Every structure is written in structure tokens, then in C-alpha cells.
Chain A
């Protein structure tokens, strides 16, 4: 049997189409069997060397005469023939191995694809694989430890994420009264710097507005004594008016303007 006959069985099939196909196949098989037997025999003989050595004092001469008859030419010794068959079988075995490897590399992918096409692999995994056990065997902590969370966060577009958040819906789900009930208002108030707050308030401006709105000056005048009464104020106002008139008259007589331009004097 030649190596190409094993590698390309189709050729053998093609050749079997003619009339010599059946004989060739039988001869091929017989030849292979003989070679295999010879190979096995030689290998067995090699493996049996210790035994042979043990019985060699007795069987050795006999075997030597049988395998190497002295009266026959060396080319026709049985041993020579057996060695030839063994060499041929070894070569054929290697060729068979090479052919099988070539056949596998070419045919196995196609075969595997065909098998996979016939199988629902997902379902098969779900039915046959214990995914919980697989997941349980994964060391999540070690995987997380190898991640650079900062780098991942830096790549995120937080503005876009925030724009997609419905803040109103989030707030609607918050129980604000319950949160307020949990706040210790007294503790918060105790931490407030009231003096600093008052310093920032225009107390004088507020008081001035209130005084003007309520006419506190008028109330004070009404509640003061006799000298500040309406009578005294009337006398004073009449005197002031008289001063102004006299001043204007005398100023006109003297050829100057009235007392409107008199400087004010701040008593201290």
C-alpha cells in the first residue's frame, strides 16, 4: 500500500471503478497486514529480548540456524526478509500518521462546523454546564483590583449622563418630610453664628424704614412734655418764620439776599 492511497481514499475509490479495483484492494490489505505482522513480530522480538537472553543458551543456536541458515545466501535469510518487512511497515506507519494528520487538519474544521450547525450550543451549555459553579469559581475581587476605575471614570461623559437623569422624578420619589423629621433642628441652630448673621443685616436701614412707616417721630412728639407740645412747636415755628421774614426785609433794605444761605452750625 502506498501513502497516497491512504491520504486520498477517493482516488482508490475512483480506481475501483475500473476492473482491477477489487484485486488491488485485497492485495493492498494483505500487504498491509503482512507488514503490520512483521512489525509486530520484530517489536515483540525486541521486547522479548530478556526472555530470549534467558533461553538463548538453548534456543539461540536453533534460532540462529532458522533465521540465518548457513546454506542459503544472506539475501534470502528469513531474518533479512523479516527486517525488510519491518522497515517497510515502519515507513508505512509513519506515512499513515502523516496522512491522518493532514486529513485531520483539512477535515476536522469542516467536520466540527457541520457538527456545531446541528447543535444548539447555547442550550447545550445552559443544560449541561453548571454556570453557578463557574461563576462561583471566578475571583471577582482580584479582577476588580486589576481595573483602573479612575481611568474608566475619566472616560465617562458625566454631563451627558446627568442630562439624561430626570431630576424631577428623582425628587418626587424622595420623602422630604421624613428627612426633615430626622434632622435635629436644635443642633443645627446651636451651630449657627447669629452674631455673624446679624452683622450682615442692615438693621439700621430696616429700623429707619419701620420708623418712617410708623411715623414714630410723631408718636414721640405726642407723648413728650409740655415744652415739646404742639403749642411750643407752634411758637417756635412762628418765631422762625418771623426771623426769616425780618431777615429778608433787612437783607432787601441792605441790598443783599435773605437768610436762606446761612451756614449751619453743628453743636457738639
Chain B
């Protein structure tokens, strides 16, 4: 082994040394498929994120209306279809962006999960977008993970993706 000035001896040296933030009790679960409870809680958290994002969007829109016409300022009425469409678009964009970049959303980060593509690599945007569409319009497909021996949801089965426990913060390689 040759240690050069300023270089780390080995990229995986910290892992080899046991320098991980994962507690000993959770290390056995790392990289194993995540169960339905964790994934459902992550989805709930993601839904909360979308609610926050939607509310912020609505407030932003109302603020813009107030600046445009202060005399007639009021909270605009938004049809339910628009709300659902906006929420769906936000959710799809948010999920696909998160899965394409770090492989996990806020809910996944909170629960220590990571979404991986085929061959267990980071998904490219098209696949992530397709998976986000499926998850958005067919959320009940998530429950198939409770009955699947490999803990795969409908989206996972269709797109050969997987969700695993991964408490370590890192960016997986591209697919």
C-alpha cells in the first residue's frame, strides 16, 4: 500500500474500518429489501412533502395575485382537479428527480431507504419518471411489497427496480 500526500488510502477504507454511522443492530439489514411498513411511512412522508410544496405553490400564487391586484386581493379558488393535477405533477417531478439524483426522497432518507434500478444501480431519468408515474397513479401497488417474497411493489415488478435499507449517505453509480 502506498499512501500519497493528500490522497485517501482507499475509497472503501472507512467501510473496511467499520467507520459507518449505521448502528450495529441495523448493519445486518443493510442492502436487504425494505418491508412494507418502512416504504409506507416513507410514502407518507413524501406525501407530506408534496402537501408542503403544494401549499407553498398556492401561497405563492396567492401572493402573486395580491401583488398584481391588491384591491381585489383574496385567496384564489382552485378547482379540485387543478389541485390534484398540480399535486400529481409535483409528486412525479419530485420523485423522479430524487430517484435520479440520490436514489431517495425525503421519506426514503428519513426511513433509511434507497430506490435502485436494474442491476442495483441508480436509475436514469426516464425510468425514474415512469416509476414515479406508476407510483402516483397506482399507489395501491405499493402493498404488493407486503405479499411479494422479494418485497417488490407493482412498480418494482414492472420496472425491475428495488427498494433496500441503506442508512449510509452516498450516491450510487449510474445504471
Contacts and interface: CB of A to CB of B under 8 A. Distances in A.
B116 interface: yes
Contacts of A198: 1, 3
A251 to B, nearest CB: 8
B20 A217 contact: yes
Contacts of B164: 265, 267
Interface residues of B, number: 49
Contacts of B32: 262-265
A74 to B, nearest CB: 132
Interface string A204-225: 1001100110001100110010
B121 to A, nearest CB: 5
Nearest to A201: B1
Interface size class of A (residues with CB under 8 A): 35 or more
Contacts of B13: 204, 207
A221 B23 contact: yes
A247 interface: yes
B167 A211 contact: no
Contact of B16 (A204, A246, A262): A204
A76 B33 CA distance: 165
B26 A236 contact: yes
A43 interface: no
B19 interface: yes
**Which secondary structure dominates chain A's binding surface?**
helix
Contacts of B167: 233, 236
B125 to A, nearest CB: 18
Contacts of B119: 268
A235 interface: yes
Interface in B18-40: 18-23, 25-26, 29-38
A259 B152 CA distance: 13
Nearest to A234: B23
A169 interface: no
A195 B21 CA distance: 32
B17, B20, B25 interface centre (most CB from chain A within 10 Å): B17
Interface stretch (B46-54, B78-86, B103-111): B103-111
Given A233-B26, A243-B35, A259-B151, A216 B110 contact: no
Interface string A234-268: 01110110111011001000101001001111111
Interface string B140-175: 000000110111000000000010111100001100
Interface of A: 195, 198-199, 203-204, 207-208, 211-212, 216-217, 220-221, 224, 227-228, 232-233, 235-237, 239-240, 242-244, 246-247, 250, 254, 256, 259, 262-268
Given A211-B19, A239-B111, 8 more contacts: A198-B3, A204-B13, A216-B17, A227-B109, A237-B26, A239-B112, A262-B32, A268-B121
9 contacts: A221-B23, A236-B38, A242-B37, A243-B34, A246-B35, A246-B146, A259-B151, A265-B32, A267-B166
Pairs A-B, 4 closest by C-beta atoms:
A243-B35, A242-B37, A239-B38, A236-B112
